[in-house]
């Protein structure tokens, strides 16, 4: 991490969160490409790290860029982060997570658990 350079990020905490999210993404897609959908799980982890720290992206990836291929084609994690970190701009998350119910309140039976896992809409 000490070799990571980022002139585009002024806030050290935001920069640290972004670097950690990119590291997780890099290691996920480079060490775990066992099945189709691996990159999708990496993207989910990337966004989860940002959201869990109260941030979200304020922009989209540049046209014709795929973050997973950028990770796969780099020699190491630092090279990957240095190449892509300027693509991302964070903003404070405008989603108030406290306004949502806890999962345990909504998923309280085995039927509800299976419905959630199967992406089936409840009948009631």
Which pTM was predicted? 0.70
For 33, list phi and psi in degrees, rounded to 5: -80, 65
pLDDT at 2 over 60: no
Q: Please tell me the predicted confidence (pLDDT) of residue 34.
A: 62
**Residue with the larger pLDDT of the pair 111 and 24:** 24
Q: Give the number of other CB atoms < 10 A from CB of residue 84.
A: 20
Summarised one tens digit per residue, pLDDT across range 56-92 is: 999 988 999 999 999 999 999 999 999 999 999 999 9
Summarised one tens digit per residue, pLDDT across range 30-56 is: 886 666 677 888 899 999 999 888 899
Q: Please tell me the predicted confidence (pLDDT) of residue 99.
A: 74
């Amino acid at each position: 991490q000490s070799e990571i350079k980022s002139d585009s990020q002024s806030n050290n905490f935001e920069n640290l969160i972004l670097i950690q999210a990119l590291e997780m993404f890099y290691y996920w897609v480079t060490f775990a490409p066992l099945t189709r959908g691996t990159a999708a799980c990496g993207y989910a982890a990337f966004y989860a790290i940002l959201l869990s720290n109260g941030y979200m992206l304020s922009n989209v990836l540049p046209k014709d860029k795929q973050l997973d291929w950028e990770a796969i084609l780099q020699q190491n994690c630092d090279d990957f982060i240095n190449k892509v970190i300027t693509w991302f701009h964070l903003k404070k998350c405008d989603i108030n997570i406290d306004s949502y119910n806890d999962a345990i309140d909504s998923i309280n039976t085995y039927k509800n658990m299976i419905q959630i896992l199967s992406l089936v809409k409840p009948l009631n």
